[in-house]
Chains A and B, each alone.
Chain A
């Protein structure tokens, strides 16, 4: 067990998978440095053939991953900022997600696209701080993962690399350098399994990525008022671990979903619809969502703090459904 930040834990996962399986390779821009140091040092260790420094060509980075994956390799493509996914969208949506389907099950695309996602301040705003998990989850054939801590980051990335379907791996930028205990060596976190971070009996709080910290803080705040909050970290957005959420809502009768993405057609809306559909009679209050507004994310850091959900907004929302 070592104390590492998320970036170092992801680096360790890549390192271990590159060493374990010679079909694994990494391709992206500025690999030697790595925008958030996730690929740091790997080029020296594994060489140019496996840590591939690509020109500024997101569409071809993603497409090359698909082509290589169809040939039996396990590429890990890095699209530096999640915002740039839109440049690679054709290859992700039309090629990667449909390989298994269009081959009639005779081939598949075992590949990962990693991105730095969501808000982080630093005034990088509307084009570098967006959250696209809902957009990606809408595409049949893709798996979407959002780790919230270093240990999960390592275990989920290892699972993603070993997965036989294309995985979009969204790394919350604001928690890259938050430290935590990370198990050494073979540490696997299964895809599609949520984590109950804290048990509670009055309200279920569902979050993912950086929002898990805000949810935990809000739960702590509510505890002072004698309200017991259960916090669920989704870990995988798609496939959604429905049963963990439903089980919790059947116990608490109240659901609040926290997400960094914009409100309209968000993934939380899908969770709300699913719970309304499958656990309606357990609900004691309306399902609530705490999201970003339906606006771009601003560069101004004061305004960004107002844009992103925080513990105060979560607490305020919980209080509206308690009685």
Chain B
């Protein structure tokens, strides 16, 4: 992707705002007992997934989400209705209602299914990149992960294998500096996750994860490298999670002091882009209000849509375990 146009910036602003407002609404809906899903939100981290995923071709390239990559689903092309019906675990959702909305897979939009295991997504991205390399295309795979996931053995295995096999994959770290409740300093000896890139002989970069344009620019270099056949990269985006690990911990501060919290709140990724756009005269109060209204309307519609979709029935318990070949011999 070349230079960003004013339309691109407007879209990125829309995706970040949609993610923020969608997740705020999820919290309210869950509090009202509308669904059972234990939601994990990315409040404060939206610039990472938006800036990085915006480097991808919407359908052709492959995105492998982390637990906190909701924005990446939107940028990849899944709309609010699609994500909301998955939050409600409806029968018609992409998961068939049998998996939470954090782990959506879409064959149409190049979104790979992941599991509820933090850090198990690395090798899936390696496999996707392997498939792309075999097809001899210039498509790429991108995988998101948090600082916590970087402690998994699979992080090491997958970065190493991607390097050895020279695969078109970009590893994007959403370093929110905390894993559930454990601060990064208690998770690893060297808190600069990017430093590990050199251990695998691959390029690495560290970027301000609150600045969506900076994220986009840095990740884009890595994506272009992968497209050209020059192999994998690691990009660490430093960000901050406003809320708890999951929605039950809405007002939780995790022992983080008020000063730290306020500092990061003052660097809100949506505010930062808004200011950049106002400064460049690419946004005014009217165009801003228009986006805000659109976002609220889409979320309202998504809730109404999700609530109107059919629920699962008992027979669904037994479907989609095996294909017809196996089902027919085991019956």
Contact with B along A240-254 (1 / 0, CB 8 A): 110000000000000
Residues of chain A with a CB closer than 8 A to B161's CB: 54-55, 57, 60, 64
Distance from A320 Cβ to chain B, minimum over Cβ atoms (Å): 32
Does the CB pair A100–B320 fall under 8 Å?
yes
Establish whether residues A191 and B113, one from each chain, have CB atoms under 8 Å apart when the complex forms.
Answer: no
Interface string of B309-331 (1 = CB under 8 A from A): 00000000001111101100110
- At the interface with chain B, which of A105-113, A126-134, A171-179, A273-281? A105-113
Query: Given the complex, which residues of B lie within 8 Å of A25, measured CB to CB?
Result: 130, 134
Bits for B103-118, please: 1 = Cβ < 8 Å to A, else 0.
1010100001111110
How many residues of chain B get a CB closer than 8 Å to chain A's CBs? 49
- Given A90-B120, A141-B321, does the pair A103, B127 have CB atoms closer than 8 Å? no
Q: How far is the CA of A238 from the CA of B330 in the complex (A)?
A: 8
Determine the interface band of chain A, counting residues with CB < 8 A from chain B: 35 or more
Instruction: Please tell me which one of the listed residues B95, B115, B160, B322 contacts residue A57 in the complex, with CB atoms under 8 A apart.
Output: B160
A100, B123: Cβ atoms under 8 Å? no
CB pair B107–A241 under 8 Å, yes or no, is: no
- Within 8 Å CB of B115, what residues of A? 90, 94-95, 98, 102
Chain B hits for A95, CB < 8 A: 113-115, 120, 124
**Cβ-defined contact, A60 with B126, below 8 A:** yes
Q: CB of B93 within 8 A of chain A?
A: yes
The smallest C-beta distance from B41 to any residue of chain A, in angstroms, reads: 21
Residue B154 at the A interface, CB < 8 A? yes
Neighbouring A residues of B154 by C-beta, 8 Å:
59-60, 63, 90
Q: Is B125 an interface residue (CB 8 A)?
A: yes
Residues A104 and B94 in contact in the complex (CB < 8 Å), given A60-B154, A141-B321: yes
| Residues of B with C-beta under 8 A to A140 | 321
Whether a CB of chain A sits under 8 angstroms from the CB of B153 is: yes
- Tell me if A102 and B160 are in contact (CB < 8 A): no
B160 to A55, Cβ gap below 8 A? Answer: yes
Given that A67-B112, A67-B130 are contacting pairs, would A103 and B321 also be in contact in the complex, using a CB cutoff of 8 Å?
Answer: no
B79 at interface, CB cutoff 8 A:
no
Decide: B132 and A64 in contact? CB cutoff 8 A. no
Q: Which residues of A contact B131 (CB under 8 A)?
A: 67-68, 71-73
Question: Assuming A72-B131, A102-B98, A165-B323, is B329 touching A63 (CB within 8 A)?
Answer: no
B157 to A60, Cβ gap below 8 A?
yes
In the complex, whether B304 has a CB less than 8 A from a CB of chain A is no
Q: A60-B161, A67-B112 are in contact. Are A108 and B323 (CB under 8 A)?
A: yes
- Do B127 and A59 touch (CB < 8 A)? no
Question: Within the complex, which residue of B97, B123, B160, B325 is in contact with A104, where a contact is CB–CB below 8 Å?
Answer: B97
Known: A70-B128, A100-B321, A192-B326. Contact between A90 and B165, CB under 8 A?
A: no
Say if the beta carbon of A164 comes within 8 Å of chain B.
Answer: yes
Query: In whole Å, how far is B163's beta carbon from the nearest beta carbon of chain A?
Result: 10
* B122 contacts partner chain A, Cβ-Cβ < 8 Å: yes
State whether B105 touches A103 (Cβ < 8 A).
yes
Where the two chains meet, the residues of B that have a C-beta atom closer than 8 Å to any C-beta of A are 62, 64, 93-99, 103, 105, 107, 112-117, 120, 122-134, 153-154, 157-158, 160-161, 164-165, 319-323, 325-326, 329-330
7 nearest CB pairs, A to B: A67-B127, A104-B96, A63-B123, A192-B329, A239-B330, A64-B127, A71-B131
- 20 more contacts with CB within 8 A, not counting A54-B161, A63-B122, are A25-B130, A59-B154, A59-B157, A62-B123, A64-B124, A67-B129, A67-B130, A67-B131, A70-B113, A70-B128, A71-B112, A90-B117, A95-B113, A98-B115, A103-B320, A104-B93, A104-B98, A141-B322, A164-B325, A190-B329
Q: What are 27 A-to-B residue pairs whose CB atoms are below 8 Å?
A: A50-B134, A55-B161, A57-B157, A60-B126, A63-B124, A66-B127, A67-B112, A67-B126, A67-B130, A71-B127, A73-B131, A73-B134, A94-B116, A95-B120, A99-B113, A100-B321, A101-B96, A102-B103, A104-B97, A106-B96, A106-B105, A107-B113, A140-B321, A143-B326, A163-B325, A190-B329, A191-B329
